[in-house]
Chain A
């Protein structure tokens, strides 16, 4: 993980707005350990002024904050024209709360309790948006090529035949090449479901995709990141 983070944005700046001191300190420490700059705001008002003045790549905002509610903070920021990506942390994990959070201007929503690996993966994906558009028509990782317009996938000289859903899965992975993508992120973005499957249903899809794009090739591109998720990247880098 450390390696990927440094590849993408060596000095990513993150503002954590969270009133629970212990979990806030834990987050700051954990983000600093992977090489990011992490600042902390303890309430909504402080968070708003820091987010507004500071130049952050991602804001991690707790939904329930003293002085100013998390959603109102985001709304105010957006009204001022501040487009910094926001990830909402909330103890309210239900579908309608998620929708409320995203409607208020949040870019992603993570229910508590969460694993840091999941949070880190999502923050990295979010911050990429800030850096530049990833809406190219062709994605390339190593000798793997995906054409988003003609829906063609090729590895080296071999044309690969993918099912529509496999194509979308690969497209999402390649869009975030070099970044960790978790199982829930895949379920949300590829299948549009927000529940937590009790079985390893995503792993099975991944292993099918892997057998199509990596089988018979010397260098694997689709990697399993233990305890976190998956990543597509050229092994050399």
Chain B
């Protein structure tokens, strides 16, 4: 596409053309209205004067006879710039006046008409137009009085010329302005396109230029930049995930394969094979579980689960989870307590439930208070209170807080952020089963709802809190960054 072709295809230029057309139409109708009104006024003026003269001359004829009529006509006809006069006999002969010739048939009808004429004292081809009145006089004579329309025509010419010029000026200014505006827009769009192409070519760190004027293009650019920011973060996350998956799924897969190989190599009895196969199934179940958790996190992080949001009571979810895990906690020598007030929440009930379940499972697994050390006096029994896990649902400001508090060893402040990453297991001995994805999932669910997972100190112990805006469905990470963007409720 040529540069000019690009220019005239811009929206700015096309809009200019539309406005241009509208303005031209407006100017033309304004001038037209003016011309029409002026013409009407002039015509009125002519009819008034001509009518006055007609009645004057008719009066002369009626009262003083034909002779005086001729005299009056001849004397008036000789005045410079005078009106048109013509008197005809009943047989149609021209007897007095200053008319050289007329369009045929004018004298035949009485009343007003517009006609071409030539003056007696002018050359053969000097035709003009006039507005004339033909009156029937008594005795069969006819009187024509008229006035030249030159004045009206000249005025019309002036208006037409004005129209021509003004439309020409409007068009030139409009097209020039359009090209100017279109070029400016085009330059900025071209800069954006260039950046976009660089980004498409793989340089995800590129950002669109944002001007200082804060106009619509700048707002667009900064919104697109926010979007790019998010895409980059997602891409980095994706890469991290695939690296982690490669690492953390390969290890159990290798173990699985080794076991199968070993069982195959050793000739054993049926019971041995059976045991090997059972272990294989167990191991693959664990793999599937890890895989599902990873997919769930990926979905929560990409925002796809946003389709399933509705309103529910967070306290009910907390009660359900409490009820589900209470026997398990008790078996582990802990007590699970519940403290809730009704708090309505908009979100994905299933995911919130699972996130809370993960936190409770963690508390049951890792929230055991440290056993009294041998150095301490005998009989220092861990108090019952320390074996308590508290599930809480409450509202604080415009946030809904779902928290799980244990009195175990807690997580040192420096490791809290790290603990939420995928596959991270702080328990280096890995004495408890688990995939290291529980907190990541809880965090991803909180983020999906526009909130966050907070880990803090319970002195001693850990408080894990899902802090979620009460109207979570209306926001997401992107919208949080640019709050002036109209937000769409998913």
Residues of A within 8 A of B (CB): 93-96, 99, 111, 113, 115, 165, 191-201, 204-205, 208, 227
Contacts and interface: CB of A to CB of B under 8 A. Distances in A.
A203 B299 CA distance: 29
Contacts of A198: 289, 358, 361, 433-435, 438
Contacts of B304: 94, 96
B299 A94 contact: yes
B295 A94 contact: yes
Nearest to B350: A95
A196 B308 contact: no
9 contacts: A95-B305, A95-B308, A99-B308, A113-B284, A195-B296, A198-B435, A199-B328, A204-B328, A205-B327
A94 B438 contact: no
Interface stretch (B194-202, B233-241, B318-326): B318-326
Nearest to B282: A227
Contact of A200 (B289, B324, B328, B435): B328
B364 interface: yes
B472 interface: no
A185 B284 CA distance: 20
Counting from the closest, the 3 A-B pairs by CB-CB distance are: A204-B327, A195-B354, A204-B328
A95 B328 contact: no
B288 interface: yes
B324 A95 contact: no
Interface in B303-339: 304-305, 307-308, 320, 323-325, 327-328, 331
B305 A165 contact: no
B73 interface: no
Contacts of A191: 320, 324
A235 B474 CA distance: 55
B364 A199 contact: yes
A227 B304 CA distance: 34
Given A94-B296, A95-B308, A201-B328, 10 more contacts: A94-B295, A94-B304, A96-B307, A113-B284, A193-B350, A193-B357, A195-B357, A201-B361, A205-B324, A208-B327
Contacts of A193: 320, 324, 350, 353-354, 357
A199 to B, nearest CB: 6
B364 A113 contact: no
B209 to A, nearest CB: 39
Contacts of B305: 94-96
Contacts of B278: 227
A35 B49 CA distance: 120
Contacts of B434: 198
B308 A96 contact: yes
Interface residues of B: mostly helix, strand, loop or mixed? helix
Given A95-B350, A96-B305, A191-B320, A196 B328 contact: no
A196 B289 contact: yes
Contact of A93 (B295, B308, B348, B438): B295
Contact of B361 (A111, A115, A199, A208): A199
Contact of A95 (B284, B348, B361): B348
B244 interface: no
A99 B292 CA distance: 17
Contacts of A195: 296, 350, 353-354, 357
Contacts of A205: 324, 327
A194 B295 CA distance: 14
Nearest to A226: B278
Q: Which of B288, B305, B324 has the most CB of A within 10 A?
A: B324
Contacts of B327: 201, 204-205, 208
Contact of B292 (A93, A96, A201): A93
Contacts of B323: 165
Nearest to A205: B327
B424 to A, nearest CB: 15
A99 B305 CA distance: 12
A5 B426 CA distance: 46
Interface in B394-441: 433-435, 438
Q: Which of B299, B327, B434 has the most CB of A within 10 A?
A: B327
B391 interface: no
Q: Which of A115, A199, A205 has the most CB of B within 10 A?
A: A199
A124 B34 CA distance: 92
B457 to A, nearest CB: 25
Contacts of B296: 94, 195
A197 B357 contact: yes
Nearest to A114: B288
Nearest to A113: B288
B351 interface: yes
A193 B352 CA distance: 11
Contacts of A99: 308
B279 to A, nearest CB: 12
A199 B307 CA distance: 29
Contacts of B328: 199-201, 204
Nearest to A99: B308
A198 B439 CA distance: 13
Contacts of B358: 198
A100 to B, nearest CB: 10
A204 B358 CA distance: 17
A115 B364 CA distance: 28
A204 B361 CA distance: 14
A115 B284 CA distance: 11
Contacts of B307: 96
A204 B438 CA distance: 21
A113 B350 CA distance: 21
Interface string B457-487: 0000000000000000000000000000000
Nearest to B353: A193
Given A94-B296, A196-B289, A201 B351 contact: no
A196 B325 contact: no
A199 B296 CA distance: 18
